[in-house]
Structure 1
Amino acid sequence: MAEERVVDGGRGPALHSTTVRLGYADTDPAGILYYAAWFPWMERTQSEWFWLNGLRQDELKERHGFWTVTAHTACDYVEAVGLFDEIRVELRLGTVGRRSFEMLHRMVRTADDVVVARARIRIVTVSPDLGAVDIPPLLRRHLDTWAHGTRLAPAEVSS
């Protein structure tokens, strides 16, 4: 099977973004980004987006009877970045299936608006005993509205 590449980090406007300044902990001794440094920033951007939409990941099991788990990640490193570069981590919705969906990330250096990395994270919905389940109706409603670049109204989130 050919290796899959993340094509463009998602089309259309970002659902959410976070700006970070790379620090020494994100780099190797030469000041070049450590390859795994993107993953915590992507997770933070995703978690914040879920939280802003009323889907606190620490409450999914108790409040809604499901969890989400990461099943696959892929990241393409396009341009070099280094210590103290300011990066905008953009989040977009990718493919939505029956039991999983993808969150697409694009990392953009703010000084020159250059895409420096693109990533895909596949998330699976699971039951409390960790068996894969169909995407629950509440999450499905969120995904459907996110696909159109909007959010559910607060009253829709609590149902």
Structure 2
Amino acid sequence: MSDTAPLHQLEFRLSYADTDPAGILYYAAWFPWMERLQSEWFWMNGLRQDQLAAEHGFWSVTCHTECDYLVPVGLFDHIRAELRVGRVGRRSFDMLHHLVRTEDQRLVGRGLIRVVTVTPSGESTPIPDLLRRHLDAWVQGHPLPADVSP
């Protein structure tokens, strides 16, 4: 996992819907939070996923996910989700997620979402220049300013 500064982060408190009946994090609960963080960051940078095909001729599609659960967490724990960029290939890239319990700053989980770029008909395509500029800047640790339209 990358040790670079987060590109974006959000904080939330785990709710009953995030846990099992014993109040322990339900294993699948991290995935919606990770995707939410990632979608928000794309949106903040003018890469609205609902408009990519119409405006830029490609979609971004999740093709792989993984998550490591490092420390138990439960109902009402306050979490900071951090987004980083990982490996960038020709047609796909990895978004890395660190999940930190704010009470003790402990890394409690880490995840990866692999995204592939596809044509509107669903065929894999090389990462378009528009997105490549952002990815290259992120990998170098110098994200493009969020208020700059790609």
The match for 2:107 is 115
> Contact 1:53–1:151 at 8 Å: present in 2 too?
no
The match for 2:10 is 18
The match for 1:99 is 91
Using the size of structure 1 for normalisation, the TM-score is 0.90
Alignment of 1:32-47 (within 5 A): 32-47=24-39
Could you list the runs of 5+ residues in structure 2 that have no partner in the other structure? none
Q: Deviation per CA, 1:28-48, whole angstroms, max 9, x where unpaired?
A: 000000000000000000001
| Number of residue pairs matched by the alignment | 149
Q: Deviation per CA, 1:54-109, whole angstroms, max 9, x where unpaired?
A: 10000000000000100101100000000000000000000000000000000000
Using the size of structure 2 for normalisation, the TM-score is 0.96
The match for 1:48 is 40
The percentage of aligned residue pairs carrying the same residue is: 62
2:130 counterpart of 1:138? yes
2:62 counterpart of 1:70? yes
Distance 1:20 1:70 in 2: 23
- Residue 150 of structure 1 deviates from its aligned partner by 2.9
RMSD of equivalent CA atoms: 1.2
Distance 1:156 1:79 in 2: 39
Distance 1:93 1:152 in 2: 13
> Contact 1:93–1:104 at 8 Å: present in 2 too?
yes
Distance 2:144 2:131 in 1: 10
Given residue 56 of structure 2, which amino acid in structure 1 is its aligned partner?
H
Helix, strand or coil at the partner of 2:3: coil
Could you list the runs of 5+ residues in structure 1 that have no partner in the other structure? 1-7
- Residue 148 of structure 1 deviates from its aligned partner by 2.4
The match for 1:4 is none
- Residue 11 of structure 1 deviates from its aligned partner by 1.3
